[in-house]
Amino acid sequence: MIVKEVLNEELLTLAEVKDILTRIADERREKGIEVAYSFRKALHHAEQFSKISGEKSRELVSKLLELEKMKPVIAVRIADILPQSRDELRSIYAKEKYTLSNEELDQILDYVFEAME
Residue that finishes a domain, picked among 5, 27, 49: 49
pLDDT value, residue 99: 83
Cα→Cα distances 57→22, 89, 100, Å = 16, 17, 22
Return the CATH number at 71. 1.10.150.80
Cα→Cα distances 12→67, 102, 114, Å = 19, 28, 20
Domain assignment of residue 40, given as a range = 14-49
pLDDT tier, 1 (very low <50, low <70, confident <90, very high otherwise):
low
Whether residue 67 is found in the same domain as residue 100: yes
Whether residue 85 is found in the same domain as residue 71: yes
Whether residue 78 is found in the same domain as residue 111: yes
User: To the nearest whole percent, how much of the chain has pLDDT over 70?
Assistant: 99
Residue 43 backbone class (left: φ over 0; alpha: ψ -120 to 50; beta: rest): alpha
pLDDT value, residue 96: 86
Give this prediction's pTM.
0.85
Mean pLDDT of 73-84: 94
Whether residue 69 is found in the same domain as residue 44: no
Whole-number average pLDDT of the chain:
91
**Number of domains into which the chain is organized:** 2
Please report whether residue 7 resides in a domain.
Answer: no
Mean pLDDT of 5-21: 91
Burial class (CB in 10 A: 0-12, 13-18, 19+), 13: buried
